[in-house]
Amino acid sequence: MIKPIRKAVFPVAGLGTRLLPATKTMPKEMLTIVDRPLIQYAVDEAREAGIEQMIFVTGRGKSTLVDYFDVSFELEATMEKAGKSLEPLAPTKVRNGEIVSVRQQQPLGLGHAVWCARDIVGDEPFAVLLPDDLMVGQPGALKQMVDAYAEMGGNIICAQEVAADKTSSYGIITPGETRGTATEVFGLVEKPKPEDAPSRLGVVGRYILQPELMDILGKGERGAGGEIQLTDGMAQLIGKQPFHALKVDAVRHDCGDKAGFVLANLALALDRADLRPRIEEFLASRG
């Protein structure tokens, strides 16, 4: 029997050094794309996929991510008094217990951040979303993965073709048989040089994983960059459990990178009927 995916881990304890100085005092997941922070997009995507509990793995200086989803009595009272609509705050409303947070006390890597959620995840399959990978699709990327999981079970990672000279920025898949949009995963290599890459199929920030991964991550084995890598932990499940890569129908914006962040703002603003004319006018004026 395939257990449903009820919980999602959001590792948000990274330092975000590529976006400095903006991320000196502001978590990168709070940076705004058009009118809402990155974390809001990820939480909305998880809700759409049927996730009931969101586990934020935070670090020092990241409590604003949790506060964002709290009730802001003062703000709401002041707005009401001024006759302003509270509607714009609606996406930030959560059920009691819908969001919980744990601390990653040292930034020892993505694998370590996921492991920090082990007690809350317990003995269930779970999703992982990296909010700085903004995925725009209908339905959302995680919903597409959850639907595929309902048929295949096991572990499913989101994958995209990456440029040949960019393999060293991704976990790269050694592919097996492909059926439709799902490819069997025979191996995973973290950030290989182009000449060592087994394919151009790169892992992007959405995962459905089985709880046995937590024991593997708990061994604390260090990989690339001296960090506890999620990719290395997942690689140890291959051959023991079903493991597939899914090409989802969604556009990915890498908002952990300055150009990707600006392009995401541009793309999502152009998708908005209220903003599009002004932006198109500006772009036209720049030739």
Which one of the spans 41-49, 73-81, 102-110, 275-283 is the region binding ligand UTP (CB under 6 A)? 102-110
Q: Do 171 and 243 touch, CB atoms closer than 8 A?
A: no
With CB under 6 A as the contact rule, the residue among 18, 103, 222, 247 that binds ligand UTP is 18
Q: Does 107 bind ligand UTP (CB under 6 A)?
A: yes
User: β-strands 126-129, 201-209: how paired?
Assistant: antiparallel
Q: Does 108 bind ligand UTP (CB under 6 A)?
A: yes
Helical H segments across the chain, by residue range: 38-48, 63-67, 73-81, 110-115, 118-121, 141-152, 212-217, 230-235, 258-270, 276-285
Helix, strand and coil percent figures for the chain, each rounded to 5: 35, 25, 40
Which one of the spans 13-21, 193-201, 215-223, 261-269 is the region binding ligand UTP (CB under 6 A)? 13-21
With CB under 6 A as the contact rule, the residue among 57, 127, 145, 208 that binds ligand UTP is 57
Q: Which is nearer to ligand UTP, 64 or 181 (CB)?
A: 64
Q: Which is nearer to ligand UTP, 27 or 125 (CB)?
A: 27
CB atoms within 10 A of CB 1: 4
Q: Do 145 and 139 touch, CB atoms closer than 8 A?
A: no
**Cβ-Cβ contacts under 8 Å for 257 (sequence gap 6 or more):** 18, 19
With CB under 6 A as the contact rule, the residue among 43, 110, 246, 264 that binds ligand UTP is 110
Q: How far is the CB of 127 from ligand UTP (least distance, A)?
A: 14
Residue whose CB is nearest to ligand UTP in the complex, by number: 14
Q: How far is the CB of 56 from ligand UTP (least distance, A)?
A: 10
With CB under 6 A as the contact rule, the residue among 16, 125, 140, 233 that binds ligand UTP is 16
State how far the Cα of 16 lies from the Cα of 117, in Å rounded to an integer.
20
First to last CA, the chain: 57
List interacting residues with ligand UTP (CB under 6 A): 11-18, 57, 104, 107-110, 112-113, 130, 132, 256
